[in-house]
A and B are shown apart, each in its own frame.
Chain A
Amino acid sequence: MSSTYLALFKISLKDKIAYFKDYMFSAVGRTLTYVLMIFVWNIIYFGGHFTTIKNFNLLQIDAYFVIGSALFLLINSNNDYIVSNDMKMGNVAKSLIKPLSYVYSVFIESFSENILLLPSVLIVIFFTLYYTGLVTTLFSIITVIIIIIIAYLIINILQFMIGSFAIYTSSAFGISILFFNIIEILGGAIMPLTFFPSYVNNIVMLMPFQLFTYVPASILIGSIPSSTYIYYIFFGLFWLFIIAFVGYIFWNHVKKKISSVGG
């Protein structure tokens, strides 16, 4: 069975490589959107003669936007588009009778896209840390790897659920964009979460979205104390468990709906 999934992964990877040029252009374009913030904050720091703003010095804020955008790009999947499209075209019903798990095959397809980005993301992170001279420990790196895996699973499950909404709305494209906008803001991609007013920050810090950008990027640049690393890992595992459980129930419900409307 595992060889079947491996074959599926290889096919998906080849498919993505065929559109590599387009894919890389898109990745660079999306990253640049966040990287432009470096110019904005440089002007703010220099203009206001600030050395730190909310525990971020200028080097850290520059590194935050580069590393944060790279990580955000890496963990983002396109499960929602795959599932939504499959729902629309009636492919889900066909997939359900195949000797393959539909859920796993969707995850493998989007994973092949993320894996293509991994080398560039690692190079970007390495050069950013080297260039800025920010010191990161082995413990930080291991914590970030664990958090990124948890965040990746959370975002994949959430996007899979969003794609499944197509059963109610005929297309989940709009909800997907809305979700992306929400995690961009609440995940800290457009700004570190500590910059938010304290009452907003207190609420945002209870949500799992901070694991998508803010927590891993802040750990790597050393703006989060190492004593809290274990807390963030358990916090992520807690949310992963909840979201996986809700996702499981939701998908079982959706599956019944698919068969009832004939695919």
Chain B
Amino acid sequence: MQRFINNPEFIVDDLIKGYVKAYKGFIEKSANNDRVVKRKNSPETGKVGIVTGGGSGHEPAFLGYVGENMVDAVAVGEVFASPPAEAFYDAILEADSGEGVACLFGNYAGDNMNVKMAIQMAEEEGVNVKFVTAKDDIASSPKETRHRRHGIAGGVYMWKAGGAKAALGGTLDDVIAVAQKAADNTRSICVGLSSCTIPAAGTPNFEIEEGMMEIGIGHHGEPGIRVEKLKSAAEIAAMMTDALLDDFAFDREQNIAVLLSGLGSTPKMELYVLYDAIEEVLKKQNHRVEVVLIGDYATSLDMNGISLSLMKLDNELKELLAYPAKTSGLTIIRS
């Protein structure tokens, strides 16, 4: 393992230390919990709080979306492990101004348990909390059991839409409704070309043979739905786009937002090579591409791979995505 680490057991503490130093202008660590990072001016009077959280190793997710008009407080877990209930609870308290808190997370078994315990604790303190789970990864469960699907990079849309709605003065129910709409209208799929290594484990999680690719690989290296011979970027991009469109089963052309994320060690230039073919496929079916995000938005440590997320837009979602935001992971400037 060739990695930039101190003691692998404390890599998450080290990550947080560096992160809050780098963004001290608008970010700080919670005074109550070392595993909670918050906006400096959270809670903001009159605004619904936005909370998320998840395992580390997916940077910029999740802490990278804390900032102006997006997430107010985040619970930071161990590498690839849900944050404890207490961290979600403290994040909820850091985000609550009295208007309630929307907890928007990724539908993993651990997150579900910890968030639900945290919500129970927060409600006992009189905080009104509602939640939405992103379920965009179509490879994580078949369509019939969509409720079991996991959230991956598509969560960025959920945080962006929910965060903008809260910034615009939406009530907790308004925020929950748009976050749910964003989640319901987003589909993602990953393709992996190589494994990832959890620093404390020291050896790769799994293997992908040279010349092969794993379609539908999970964000923690969960094996995908099938392994195939590596194809050209254009063929892979088309296959991924088709898989998402199949899952959507649109009955007419749509306005689409595209989010193409590297999984940690994918060269950026290859993302653009892929995007060329993605847009071709969408255009051929008369869909209009309204929003494009390309970069590292939700990663899996050092995995060589990509995730493609598509969101079906309506006017409201389009406006919320375009609303200004300032975070380390995503900045939208007023156009």
A complexed with B:
no
B→A interface (CB under 8 Å):
none
